[in-house]
Structure 1
Amino acid sequence: MAGHHRWDALSAPELDALVDDRTVAVLPVAAVEQHGGHLPLATDVIIGEGLLAAALARSVGRAGTVLILPTLAIGSSLEHTAFSGTLSLAPETAIAVIESIGTSVARAGIRRLLIFNSHGGNKAVIDIAALKLRAAQRMLVVKANYFRFAPPADALPARELAHGLHGGALETSLMLHFAPDQVRVDRLEDAQSLGATRADVGATLGPEGDAGFAWMAQDLHASGVTGNARLASAEQGARLSAHFAARLATLIDEASTFELDALND
């Protein structure tokens, strides 16, 4: 049966009746961590759930049933632990939690899992957990990080896209769209990242790129924010949301139609 359903709103027999060989489970993974003085600790949760809701509104599930798992709100946020309010699982714990959830999904007879991530620090642990699930459960595991989706053309200046990694114009715009009452607009700042200042003098080694160095948030800027939040707007947030949601909707539907026989055991 096509369509989408909340996993935790179903009874056990109802879930059993919905599962078939095209069913996709979607696991939203986020973080509760500092985002400077202008954004709440739940920023990544709000953005992730907002983008997923926007994707589901696009009739996701045409090919098969989509089951939305409860959001894993606390992720791996080691890089933000110097700041108050950050909640973080140890990387090893985060890997084990994601793997355990995926194993439970497989036990329900589902071999298609899409992990939708809204926090950069989760990417490495998701990569490892996904591979472990592929090896142990013979699952298709899709790793979808919205911040790695190509943005709309001319959405933001190239410099901001490259260096506004945390609490900058992109995240602030999305928050002005999804939860404007939670943005402290009187505290917006232009926090120039160490990566941006190094690029300005011609350095090629920075925190991101083809050969980045490990960093803590305070290494990039003392405030824990990187990017120019003053460039943000609700209008830009709506445009970014629509664009990212369309990409996510396509990925969910493609996960449902992916031929599992292409995965060789």
Structure 2
Amino acid sequence: MSVHQWQDLTSTEIARLAGGATVAVLPLAAIEQHGSHLPLSTDLDIGLGLLEAAMAQLGSTQDVIVLPPLALGSSLEHTDFPGTLSLMPETAMRVIEALGEAVNRAGIRRLVLFNSHGGNKAVIDLVALKLRAAHAMLVVKANYFRFAPPPQALPAKELRHGLHGGALETSMMLHLAPAKVRIEQLADAVSEGSLREQSGATLGPEGDAGYAWMAQDLHPSGVTGNAALANADIGRRLVEHFSARLATVIEEAGRFDLATLRGPTPDGI
């Protein structure tokens, strides 16, 4: 296994690693409010913690180059809370696309966009397709919160409605960065989505008929979920599980047959 930090390499070394099964990984996160119990760096801390754990699990033959993390994301839904730093979606798209194009120029056609912030998902979907269309790159969209959680780690209702600052994120922070968690502020923030579900409503903030929402629409604190359920042992299980899944994704990206990514026909059909 050979894991490199992009910024630590020379241009010559990047060229030597290009091609073959080398996978570039771009960590994507956010600096945004997570209520009164978690720091603004929560998404970044979790993303980098999962990535570090995943790197230790890679096979012995996998070459990986980790790009500098893009700490700022598209956090429009959290902009009414102090401390949130957000790029507009169009700006975030342009930045990620430019980084993907730089990876391609270096001769690397395998790129994993590893994302730890829900608001980035729509941006990543569009950028990945643009990079694929323009450069015939393999662009993997790896959102850890879309990975299936370990069985019985948390109640199903909490996993469904604890979208932001709930037991899942708080548990991982208690494992990865416990000094940053304000324990005395842990509380249960019941989501508007949970209340609507209980009433039998079809529309909700997520699901097959979701509506656009700002964080305060779901709870005045900007948090959804029961952070009081969190503990470091649950966080350890979650980190081990999600990082193993990420390691598998990276390894499969390295084995992916790029010949299946065909360029446009001469007539553009």
TM over 0.5: yes
Separation in 1, partners of 2:245, 2:128: 20
Residue of structure 1 equivalent to 2:212:
214
3-state SS in 1 of match to 2:100:
helix
Over residues 153-189 of structure 1, what are the superposed CA-to-partner deviations in whole Å (9 max), with x where a residue is unaligned?
0010010000000000000000000000000000001
Runs of 4+ that moved beyond 3 A: 61-64
Q: Matches of residues 66-215 of structure 1 in structure 2 within 5 Å?
A: 66-215=64-213
Alpha carbons 2:136, 2:262 under 8 Å: kept: no
Alpha carbons 1:26, 1:116 under 8 Å: kept: yes
Residue of structure 2 equivalent to 1:248:
246
3-state SS in 2 of match to 1:132:
helix
Q: TM-score, normalised by structure 1?
A: 0.98
Query: Percent of aligned positions with the same letter in both sequences?
Result: 66
Give 5+ residue unaligned stretches, structure 2: 264-269
Alpha carbons 1:61, 1:252 under 8 Å: kept: no
What is the deviation of 1:61? 5.2
Alpha carbons 1:63, 1:253 under 8 Å: kept: no
Over residues 63-85 of structure 1, what are the superposed CA-to-partner deviations in whole Å (9 max), with x where a residue is unaligned?
43100000000000000000000
What is the deviation of 1:98? 0.3
Residue of structure 2 equivalent to 1:238:
236
Give 5+ residue unaligned stretches, structure 1: none
Separation in 1, partners of 2:200, 2:6: 50
3-state SS in 2 of match to 1:55:
helix
Equivalent pairs, count: 263
Q: TM-score, normalised by structure 2?
A: 0.96
User: Partner amino acid for 2:28?
Assistant: V
Alpha carbons 1:193, 1:220 under 8 Å: kept: yes
What is the deviation of 1:204? 2.2
Residue of structure 1 equivalent to 2:34:
35
Separation in 2, partners of 1:135, 1:155: 39
